[in-house]
Amino acid sequence: MVAIVGGDGPMVLSRRLVRARDTELVVADGDYLVREGDAGTDMFIIESGAVEISKHIAGRQMVLGVLKRGDFFGEMSLLESLPREADARAVGETRLVVLSQGGLLLRLRRDPTFCLEMLHRLSGRLRDYNTRLGTSGWSMPADAGPGRAETLP
């Protein structure tokens, strides 16, 4: 999604996490790392390969994006203790660092730079989604209620 700009580019976050890693995982093309609705106990940082993020929207599987080296995912469920919001599937052989909730919280507490890098990335994702929403021509229908989803282009 949105990479950290300047310096070491998108690998700044990944290198910091590799030093703090709990586990390294290698998955084959097409393997699912997480499924929408599953309990989330880990977050993932991509060391090599790619991961497609998709979600069930209005009865269809919609691809939200493809993450690459240096990107991370799974943090939402980990931080909020809520079920996974989307599916994550490996595109090609993919190597990841798996960070548990305890490992992540320890790094956030001990390393303000790490925390700022993560916030920078999350802010960039939100800005990207807001831009996409603003340029999509999409508007909420008057009769929209809970449980109704609209698809963004």
For residue 142, being part of any structural domain is answered with: no
Give the tens place of pLDDT for each residue, 20-69: 446 889 999 999 999 999 998 899 989 999 999 999 988 899 998 899 99
**Domains: count for the chain:** 1
For residue 5, being part of any structural domain is answered with: no
Q: Output the domain CATH number for residue 75.
A: 2.60.120.10
pLDDT range class, residue 126, cuts 50, 70, 90: confident
Containing 15, the helix (H) or strand (E) segment is helix 11-19
Q: Residues near 135 by Cβ (< 8 Å), separated by ≥ 6?
A: none
**Domain enclosing residue 21, as ranges:** 11-130
- pLDDT surpassing 80 at residue 140: no
| Range with the poorest average pLDDT among 44-48, 78-82, 85-89 | 78-82
Q: Residues near 23 by Cβ (< 8 Å), separated by ≥ 6?
A: 97, 98
pLDDT range class, residue 111, cuts 50, 70, 90: confident
Max intra-chain CA distance, the chain: 50
For residue 26, being part of any structural domain is answered with: yes
Beta strands per DSSP E along the chain: 23-27, 32-34, 42-57, 60-68, 72-73, 87-100
Report, as an integer, the average pLDDT of 121-144.
73
Pairing mode, if any, of strands 72-73 and 32-34?
unpaired
Average pLDDT, the chain: 79
pTM of the entire predicted model: 0.71
Q: Is-contact 151 133, C-beta < 8 A?
A: no
Best-predicted range by mean pLDDT (6-20, 70-84, 126-140): 70-84
Map residue 67 onto helix, strand or coil. Answer: strand
